[in-house]
Amino acid sequence: MMKEIKLRLTDVNACNISNLESIFSLANGHVGIRATNPITSDSLAGTLVNGYFEYSPIVYGEVAANYPKRNETIVSLPNLRKIKVMDEKHREFKSARLVDINLDLLSGQLSETYELWNVDKQQINMQVTSYIDQEDVQFFGIQYTFIPISYSSYIYVDKRFSLDEDAQHKIAMKIDDPRKTRKIASIQRQIVTKTRYRQTIMVDTAESNQKIYLTVYSYKNDQPLLSKLTLNKSQTVTYQYNVSQKNTLLDKRQIDWDLIKSHSIEFWQQVWQNSEVSITGNDELNLALHFNIFQLNQSTGRDGKTNIAAKGLSGPGYEGHTFWDTEMYMISYYIYSQPEIAKKLLMYRYNTLDFARNRARQLGVNEGALFAWRSINGEETSAYYPASTAAYHLDGDIAYAIGNYYEATHDDDFLAQYGFEMLLETARFWRRFGCWVNKRDYQQFEFHTVTGPDEYTVMVDNNYFTNRMAQHNLRLAYRLGKRLSEINPRRFAKFNVSTEEMDDFVKIADHIYFPFSDKFQINAQDDTFFSKAIWPFSHTPRDKYPLLLHYHPLTIYRYQVNKQADTLLADLLFPETITAEQLKREYDYYESITTHDSSLSRSIFSTLAARMGYMNKAYDYFLDTVRMDLTDLQGNTEDGLHLANLGGSWMSVVQGFAGMQVTPQGVLKLIPHLPKEWEGFNFRMVFHNRLLNINISGNQTTISLLDGKPMNVLVNDKSYHLEKILKILTKR
């Protein structure tokens, strides 16, 4: 087990403070708190609560039938870190400079030091230590220690909420950047209780009608919220917050700083125990990888009602919406390390099925369900349908995750209660959405006017990725339906599925058409992709990327240019569908036209390249992936971390360099490729109720069964029986 792993910033001045707010944010799947300056609070947002949003009308220039009518925006709540510090004359220490910050990834402790000055340039230092409770998720604890430097008299600290604070802080409103969030007006605040040691404020959204209560307690040393402290030595005051849907006025003895701290430490111990991924031979990358996994865990909703927003709880970008990012980039980490969380994420989708059924009807599909491309509560909110609603592949992505979850856990109860119904509803959607097309001597099944993962190519016929996902979805519905009918015939009967319908799923799946280029001998992204001109890359200056911020969408759509992995993602998910030679041709072709303007791209290029043994490429893309937010590679870490990419960095290591896959027969398989730059790497994973430790070092792969019954594994296509420990020679 690791002794220490801390993200420490050595040169705070060289950094963009807004990026640091995201990077050092603390969260527990429910509440997220950006690491804003507690004195100046000049931040993009303060506190975010998973699933707490407000509606606003979507204003269209030209409206058409069945467009989504309202937007959802995550609400930025009052900043819990804020504190007012005054000198003996009640003049504020208004200037505050961050001089040191570090985040302990083993305990979840965030420590910061600020230098504070009053108008007379007298200085005190303020050390801030905080933890978020990972068990009683509505608690957050923060301690401020004041140290006299050139001022040593009384100070007054004021920790009360103020009603006039701008509810949305300084959310950047850049209307020409669709990745930012918008400002919303209809938030009401009201003080509910106020005593010397406790203050509660209620925040109420007028339209979505959600209430959140924030209570601040001050309890240690009997300091009231408005405290007078003598500063001839250091003085610490501790506060804790309760952020919840109900106004529960807790007795201060029920929860305290030490409990919040121990819940945090226990949680992280457990996380690393089951899912540690470490690199030996490169401390910087090892730290970055741990950071990514830490932040992914922080932002994940764990209650079956909330999910993971594109920026998690680290920032307000993308309005707090959940996308396909969860099922394609993040859930794998959970399926193979904390399957109970993977289940909760899938249950979130299950809980949105009614919205999805309704959406399918609005799109003229009279059976099945279409999940929302972007949403907080499951209701479709995307205003720009070409690059959102038309991304029907989301249904297949969710089905794919359900299939993987089931294969890894054999959770029959989940299948019966939730999983099969989602597979059935999505399969029904594909069946009614697609159509049979008569060819001269046969019939094929096609899907028209769809958008694949590459958002620079929209509304095309037969997007290869979409067709593969639909095929897999239909087959899964059949296969797992059969399984359910065997293990729980009564439950299966409740779904009213006829044999004809089930057989039709298979027939359609077997006849789905896949576009192929005879000229290039590769899968074609869609029916017309290769008839377009290639984007004029050599005439596009570096500062014109990402293209979406500089060119009208229609300009982009005329060309062969990929924002992110599309056909290659299908190749990664379905390795059995492509030969090694074709995969090389395909990788080379699509790579040459991909801009990676989306943060979801590079991890796929890395993972796939590692599987192919393209080690230099795999490594280079991995470097970008694992350091993306720490280096602000996309230029917008200030809006929040790129959650899908955090999951993608786990994919690069585990599914790429270790080549971890589950065969269609349900066997765990590894094809290790150790980067020459590393001595080795190690990871833990959970599969079929077993805890495994996998170490790939030098020429050896060692698989240890830490918990559970013996099992078979495939390493480089050779089968082994794992009793306790297996040491296998593997080439670099």
Q: Which residues are catalytic?
A: 455
In terms of CB distance, is 296 or 310 closer to ligand BGC? Answer: 310
In terms of CB distance, is 44 or 474 closer to ligand BGC? Answer: 44
Interaction of residue 308 with ligand BGC, rule CB under 6 A: no
The DSSP 8-state label assigned to residue 482 in this structure reads H
Supply the DSSP string of 611-628, one letter for each residue: HHT-HHHHHHHHHHHHTT
Give the position of tokens 């000198």: 87
Smallest separation, CB 601 to ligand BGC (Å): 8
- CA 37 to chain centroid, in Å, comes to 25
- How many CB atoms are closer than 10 A to CB 368? 20
Interface map 632-661 toward ligand BGC (x if CB under 6 A): ------------x-----------------
In terms of CB distance, is 118 or 601 closer to ligand BGC? Answer: 601
Q: Do 465 and 567 meet the contact criterion of CB atoms below 8 Å apart?
A: yes
CA distance 373 to 384: 11
Give the residue, chosen from 140, 294, 323, 433, that forms a contact with ligand BGC under the rule CB under 6 A. Answer: 323
Smallest separation, CB 259 to ligand BGC (Å): 35
From 52-60, 114-122, 152-160, 320-328, span contacting ligand BGC (CB under 6 A): 320-328
593's CB contacts (< 8 A; 6+ apart) are 534, 535, 537, 560, 561, 562
Interaction of residue 596 with ligand BGC, rule CB under 6 A: no
Q: Any bridge partners for residue 168, and if so which?
A: none
Q: How far from each other are the two terminal CA atoms of the chain, in whole angstroms? A: 25
Interface map 400-429 toward ligand BGC (x if CB under 6 A): ------------------------------
Interaction of residue 325 with ligand BGC, rule CB under 6 A: yes
From 39-47, 322-330, 669-677, 695-703, span contacting ligand BGC (CB under 6 A): 322-330
Judge whether 325 is annotated as a binding position: yes
Q: Do 713 and 722 meet the contact criterion of CB atoms below 8 Å apart?
A: yes
In terms of CB distance, is 323 or 400 closer to ligand BGC? Answer: 323
Interaction of residue 600 with ligand BGC, rule CB under 6 A: yes
Q: Which of residues 23-52 bind ligand BGC (CB under 6 A)?
A: none
340's CB contacts (< 8 A; 6+ apart) are none
Smallest separation, CB 373 to ligand BGC (Å): 8
Give the number of residues in contact with ligand BGC, rule: CB under 6 A: 12
Q: Which of residues 562-591 bind ligand BGC (CB under 6 A)?
A: 563-564
- Side-chain-side CA neighbours of residue 110 (13 Å): 27
Smallest separation, CB 642 to ligand BGC (Å): 7
In terms of CB distance, is 324 or 433 closer to ligand BGC? Answer: 324
* Coil/strand/helix, residue 601: coil
- Side-chain-side CA neighbours of residue 97 (13 Å): 12
H, E, C per residue of 70-108: EEEEEEEECCCCCCEEECCCCCECCEEEEEEEEEECCCC
323's CB contacts (< 8 A; 6+ apart) are 310, 373, 374, 394, 644
Give the residue, chosen from 276, 425, 455, 624, that forms a contact with ligand BGC under the rule CB under 6 A. Answer: 455
What strands, in cross-sheet order, belong to the sheet with 211-218?
Answer: 6-9, 95-104, 109-117, 123-132, 139-148, 235-244, 211-218, 198-205, 187-194
Smallest separation, CB 564 to ligand BGC (Å): 6
Smallest separation, CB 337 to ligand BGC (Å): 22
Interaction of residue 319 with ligand BGC, rule CB under 6 A: no
In terms of CB distance, is 82 or 596 closer to ligand BGC? Answer: 596
CA distance 54 to 282: 44
Interaction of residue 287 with ligand BGC, rule CB under 6 A: no
In terms of CB distance, is 310 or 508 closer to ligand BGC? Answer: 310
Q: Any bridge partners for residue 693, and if so which?
A: 684, 704
Q: Any bridge partners for residue 476, and if so which?
A: none
Smallest separation, CB 381 to ligand BGC (Å): 13
Smallest separation, CB 391 to ligand BGC (Å): 8
**Closest to 157 (Cα-Cα) out of 91, 225, 233, 220:** 225
Residue 23, CA distances (Å) to 6, 26, 609 in order:
13, 9, 28
The structure tokens listed for 532 are 């377009």
In terms of CB distance, is 465 or 505 closer to ligand BGC? Answer: 465
From 230-238, 317-325, 403-411, 571-579, span contacting ligand BGC (CB under 6 A): 317-325
Smallest separation, CB 598 to ligand BGC (Å): 4
From 145-153, 165-173, 323-331, 707-715, span contacting ligand BGC (CB under 6 A): 323-331
Interaction of residue 324 with ligand BGC, rule CB under 6 A: yes
CA distance 389 to 384: 8
Smallest separation, CB 374 to ligand BGC (Å): 8
Q: Which of residues 74-113 bind ligand BGC (CB under 6 A)?
A: none
Omega cis (within 30) before 178: no
In terms of CB distance, is 455 or 586 closer to ligand BGC? Answer: 455
Interface map 668-697 toward ligand BGC (x if CB under 6 A): ------------------------------
Give the residue, chosen from 567, 598, 625, 661, that forms a contact with ligand BGC under the rule CB under 6 A. Answer: 598
Interaction of residue 318 with ligand BGC, rule CB under 6 A: yes
CA distance 107 to 649: 22
In terms of CB distance, is 308 or 369 closer to ligand BGC? Answer: 308
Interaction of residue 72 with ligand BGC, rule CB under 6 A: no
User: H helices of 305-377, where?
Assistant: 325, 331-335, 339-350, 353-362
Judge whether 324 is annotated as a binding position: yes
Binding-site residues for substrate, in ranges, read 324-325, 563-564
Which residues lie near ligand BGC (CB under 6 A)?
A: 310, 318, 323-325, 453, 455, 563-564, 598, 600, 644
Binding-site residues, in ranges, read 324-325, 563-564
